[in-house]
Amino acid sequence: MTHTVTRERTAYGDVDGQPVEQFVLDDGTIRVAILSFGAIIQEIWVPDRNGNEANVNLGFATLEPYTRKHPHFGAVLGRFANRLGPASFELDGTTWHVTENKPGFSAHGGAKPFDMYVWSAEEVDVDGQPAVKLTHVSPDGDEGYPGTLTASVTYSLTEDHGLRLDYHAETDKPTVVNLTNHAYFNLAGEGSGTVDDHRLQMFASRYTPTDDNQVTTGEIAPVEGTAFDFREEKRLGEVLRDASDPQLKLARGLDHNLVIDRPDRLPRTLVPVARLRDPGSGRVMHVSSTEPGVQVYASNSLDGSIAGYSGRLYRQGDAICFETQAFPNAPNRPSFPSSVVRPGEPFVSTTIYAFSTEPA
């Protein structure tokens, strides 16, 4: 059977007078809604083992709540995702000061990260199937970062029912880049409860510990003997309550960058990152990426104050994020893989969230 994707394009209101569009990609098994505002993944509908669909992605059913401060549901973050501390870095002998939007560091690109802009949308084909490419141009000096950065993310559906994200960014001056998507997953369906019962396996033997501000220290530590050892599958509920690990306690749960294993030793090939499954529904998600790291975040800061897509409140631990990325704070940590991008050498990156089911 050939894999056929359909694409729908709909006007979806406006932000500050700029029209926003919603794109729906559907391959008959999974259906994904993307917004041109923030390049946000708004919905991911996936069947369970009995064929019942659920939206496994936290978010909102309308545009408006995305335009206010929210925990970056489904959003693309940039220029530099995660924490850069201090809020400055040195590149080719020049020190660049970027927006310190949190005390002591810069988070997710600064005061107005990429998810607060309307991106320009373009219908494209990927592997002969309809897809959508969203582009945002960040001017030279935006939030203190050097260079005009033209960043794009192309959303497509793969044959194995994966949502594929292809990032591309080019600059006219040397700069640093870290692009990710902050989607919150709950394989039982958004708003249905916690992910305590989900089982997680990670293809990561090392992680990057942080200081008290959750800024990476530069150390690359083995996961062995820590709460971050997911090389064999674990139930999340137990790990999230494991107070024996000071790093875990510091973050009130999982909120750490794991170093993705690269058995082939090649720097940017597509390799397995994580396997998440929900025994209740039978839904399984495989994450793969070309990125060196992945921020695993167990939605520790959700607190029951936000009503989401289905109108249900999101509470602590109701979702988990897999933010594929450069290591946090890479520009200030020489021991980490470089996040520098130069003119003529574009940043290219791919991440796939693929969905399947397992029998009871």
Partner 1 sequence: MKRHWILPSSCATLRSFIVVLLFLSIPAAGFAQTPQASPVASPLAGSGIVQEPFGEVADGPVEKYTLSNDNGMSVSILTYGAIIQSLKVPDRNGYAADVVLGFDTIQEYVDKSPYFGAVVGRYANRIAKGTFELDGETYTLAINNDPNSLHGGTQGFDKHLWTAEEIQDTGGPSLKLTRVSPDGEEGYPGTLTVSVTYTLTASNELRIEYEATTDKLTVLNLSNHSYFNLAGEGSGNIFDQTLQLHASHFTPVDDTLIPTGEIAPVAGTPFDFRVAKPIGQEIRDGSSEQILIAHGFDHNFVLDRPAPDDTSMIVAAVATDPASGRVLTVSTDQPGVQFYSGNFLDGSFAGKSGNVYRQGDAFCLETQHFPDSPNQPDFPSTELAPGDTFSSTTVFAFSTR
Indicate whether 201 belongs to the interface with partner 1 (CB under 8 A).
no
| Catalytic position from the list 43, 143, 291, 323 | 323
Task: List Cα–Cα distances, 323 to 178, 183, 211, 359, in angstroms.
Answer: 11, 8, 20, 28
Q: Which of 247, 255, 263, 275 is nearest to 205 (CA)?
A: 263
Question: Between residues 146 and 191, which has the closer beta carbon with respect to partner 1?
Answer: 191
| Candidate residues 74, 78, 109, 253; the one interacting with partner 1 per rule CB under 8 A | 253
Q: Is 182 a catalytic residue?
A: yes
CA distance 310 to 315: 14
Question: Between residues 123 and 238, which has the closer beta carbon with respect to partner 1?
Answer: 238
Question: Between residues 242 and 261, which has the closer beta carbon with respect to partner 1?
Answer: 242
Indicate whether 187 belongs to the interface with partner 1 (CB under 8 A).
no
Q: Is 323 a catalytic residue?
A: yes
| Catalytic position from the list 182, 198, 256, 286 | 182
Indicate whether 97 belongs to the interface with partner 1 (CB under 8 A).
no
Site for partner 1 in 228-247 (CB under 8 A): 237-244
Cis ω before 79 (30° cut-off from 0): yes
What beta strand segments (E) does 82-209 contain? 83-84, 88-91, 94-97, 106-107, 120-126, 129-138, 149-157, 162-171, 175-176, 180-181, 184-185, 199-202, 204-208
CA distance 225 to 186: 27
CA distance 288 to 267: 14
Indicate whether 199 belongs to the interface with partner 1 (CB under 8 A).
no
Binding track, positions 332-351, relative to partner 1; x by CB under 8 A: --------------------
What is the binding site for partner 1 (CB under 8 A)?
A: 191, 193-194, 196, 227, 237-244, 248-249, 252-253, 300, 303-305, 307-308, 311-317
